[in-house]
Amino acid sequence: MSNWVRAHTNIALIKYWGKENENLIIPMNNSLSLTLDAFYTETNVTFDDDLKSDQLYLNGHMQDFNALIKVKTVLDLVRKKAGIKTKARVDSYNYVPTAAGLASSASGLAALAGSASRAAGLDLSSKDLSKLARRGSGSASRSIYGGFAEWQKGHSHETSFAVPVDAADWDIGMLFIVVNDKKKDISSREGMSRTVNTSPFYQGWLDTLDADLNTMKEAIKNQDVHKVGEIAERNALKMHATTLGAKPPFTYWSPDSIKAMDAVKQLRETGFSVHFTMDAGPNVKLICRQSELEDIKHHLLVDFKESQLISAKPGPGLHAISKPNL
């Protein structure tokens, strides 16, 4: 029986950066994101009595034990909930470069949560799917939903989950400037931990988050793309500033990241309502009007190749599909 599901990536506009509880993946703060149509993961889970151990096939290639760690966390939770001990085969196709700061873990673990629960005969609510996905990857909690979603930090497994905020069915879009799609040197998990434990700037970041979140939700309610972008850009820069204070200091920026940020400022000076955000990776995401995506892309072709520029619109939440889009 097929249990294929598709989950799309989400890009945080109010960032998740740091865990209060490493084991349960309880964040230090609420975060807010936009789910996008351009990147996604398709996954099918099959529980098989003949299997001696769990298996993960990513894009047709069997993965090693390290790649299975997060997957096993989700599978074990599903098995416990369903009252089974059967091992599973996971087939996953990632239409996102892995570990490049393009939110591959968000779509990947959300798709896994959806498919594994279906395969085990569980009929979970969106709230319960969000909690399950969170245990694999924090940001995956938000990919259960389409449009804007807020991950509410909570204080336990039961109280930490994402909720939908707005369908994003208005004139907002994103443009990805992919300056590097290779695996990054410092994982998000390692970067967060080092920053929380050693950066003197981290508390300042936390102290401003509630204000950022409240003004962001107001801007979304007013469908004010300029204000949404403005808040997101400042929030991202504050997050990245915390890494420079870590011990030892580090950054996810590359020279091309800075070139992309400068290009966005120049676009603003020519009259476009465009801002940038960045996650734990060098790639830059532009927040702008959907209706201006192609014009902005055209201007960026002066500095970047067409293959580096990917337009995205608001995407759907987790959903079943009949077969993978190979």
CA distance 179 to 273: 22
Q: For residues 15 and 164, state if they share a domain.
A: yes
Using DSSP bridges, classify how beta strands 88-94 and 55-58 pair: parallel, antiparallel or unpaired: parallel
| Domain termination residue (choose one: 152, 169, 186) | 169
Closest-CA residue to 296 (of 192, 209, 173, 210)? 173
pTM for the model stands at 0.94
Instruction: List, in order, residues 6 or more apart from 200 with CB less than 8 Å away.
Output: 245
Q: For residues 185 and 297, state if they share a domain.
A: yes
Residue 184 predicted with pLDDT over 50:
yes
Per-residue pLDDT tens for 201-233?
999 999 999 999 999 999 999 999 999 999 999
Rounded to the nearest 5°, which phi and psi values hold at 227? -70, -40
| Domain termination residue (choose one: 149, 169, 189) | 169
- Residue 111 has a pLDDT of 98
CA distance 115 to 324: 13
Domain coverage including residue 47? 5-169
- Residue 102 has a pLDDT of 60
- CATH number for 98: 3.30.230.10
| Domain termination residue (choose one: 114, 147, 169) | 169
Q: For residues 48 and 25, state if they share a domain.
A: yes
Neighbouring-strand partners of residue 258:
none
- CATH number for 264: 3.30.70.890
In a domain, residue 128? The reply is yes
Rounded to the nearest 5°, which phi and psi values hold at 298? -60, -45
Per-residue pLDDT tens for 136-167?
999 999 999 999 999 999 999 999 999 999 99
Q: For residues 131 and 64, state if they share a domain.
A: yes
Domain count, the chain: 2
In a domain, residue 318? The reply is no
For residues 236-253, average pLDDT: 97
CA distance 52 to 27: 34
Per-residue pLDDT tens for 47-87?
999 999 999 999 999 999 888 999 999 999 999 999 999 99
Find out whether 239 and 165 touch, Cβ atoms under 8 Å: no
Residue with tokens 């249990």: 3
CA torsion through residues 201, 263, 103, 255, sign: negative
The whole-chain average pLDDT of the chain stands at: 94
